[in-house]
Chains A and B, each alone.
Chain A
Amino acid sequence: MYGTRLRALSIATLITLTGGFALAAFYAPEDADQGFMQKILYVHVPLAIVALCGFVFAAVCAIQHLRTGESRWDLRSYVAIHMSLIFGAAVLITGSIWARASWGHWWVWDEPTLVSFLIVFLLYATYQPLRFSIEDRDKQGRYASVFAITAGAFVPLNFLAVRMAQSYTHPRVFATANGGLEPRMKVAFYVCLLGMALLYATLWKYEMTSKNTSAQIKRLRRRLAGDEGALPRRSASPTLEST
């Protein structure tokens, strides 16, 4: 069962994220250099951090899957990557808007975090096609886990390389994360970060519950209507046969 604490988690998300955005709007002062525009930070950076942590979480689940061979770990890894990709799309779009607002271009190569995020996003976008193109269920899960582990190891290396490649061009314009934020901004930022992490957890649990429900319905259908009642599969997501 995945839906047990879903309601409590949803309420916590609602309160924290709304509170965080409210703090960002009314409590945190305007940035001296960037002015009002800097408020994008409170949605963009937490999204990015949470998406990356989601990828790492997926890699950990994939390791568990390879060690134990249980398909529920594969499902966890799959859902984590799925959610992180959605968060990642939001990161790229909000980052692009920020670049447009502060430099007048929709895309700049001087912002190493955003560039390396794009590379990571491109890599993980291949996860679903990889799953779809392998027929054998067991093999599909194993190969997907190998991919998740490789990509998880790639994330920090990629950040290191891209950041080093561009450090000479620009002084850091954005006061991201811990560096140089005013205390009141910091409070708002951390509340937003917590809210975003809770949102990720809620959506992850939500998706897991949905997958579990669908598996239960399929089992029920097989019991009541026999094999001829089974509907053809349309997705490459892992199946739960024995929960």
Chain B
Amino acid sequence: MIVGADVTLPDNAGYVVAAYLVFLVLLLIYVVIMATKLSRFERELTELNEIAEKRDEERTRSAA
């Protein structure tokens, strides 16, 4: 803390930090949950793209 260099923080400052940490941690947990969801979407979309490509290939082969 730059402004607080000569100010000593009171003893229970830890509680304030803890309260804001709780907020941060919950937000980060939410980020983790969304990350797992996003990776599932990615996996599913990759899979679906493969299916679509395979189908296109078959179509061009049967047309030829």
Contacts and interface: CB of A to CB of B under 8 A. Distances in A.
A contacts B directly in the complex (CB < 8 Å)?
yes
A221 B48 contact: yes
A152 B60 CA distance: 58
Contacts of B13: 36
Nearest to A218: B44
A171 B51 CA distance: 68
A107 interface: no
A101 B12 contact: yes
Interface in A187-239: 203, 206, 210, 213-214, 217, 220-221, 224-225
Given A210-B34, A213-B41, A225 B51 contact: yes
24 contacts: A36-B10, A36-B12, A36-B13, A36-B16, A37-B15, A37-B16, A40-B15, A40-B16, A40-B19, A43-B20, A43-B23, A44-B19, A47-B23, A86-B30, A93-B22, A97-B19, A98-B19, A101-B12, A206-B34, A214-B37, A217-B45, A221-B48, A224-B48, A224-B51
Interface of A: 21, 26, 35-37, 39-40, 43-44, 47, 86, 89-90, 93-94, 97-98, 100-101, 203, 206, 210, 213-214, 217, 220-221, 224-225
Interface of B: 3, 9-10, 12-13, 15-16, 18-20, 22-23, 26, 30, 34, 37, 41, 44-45, 48, 51-52, 55
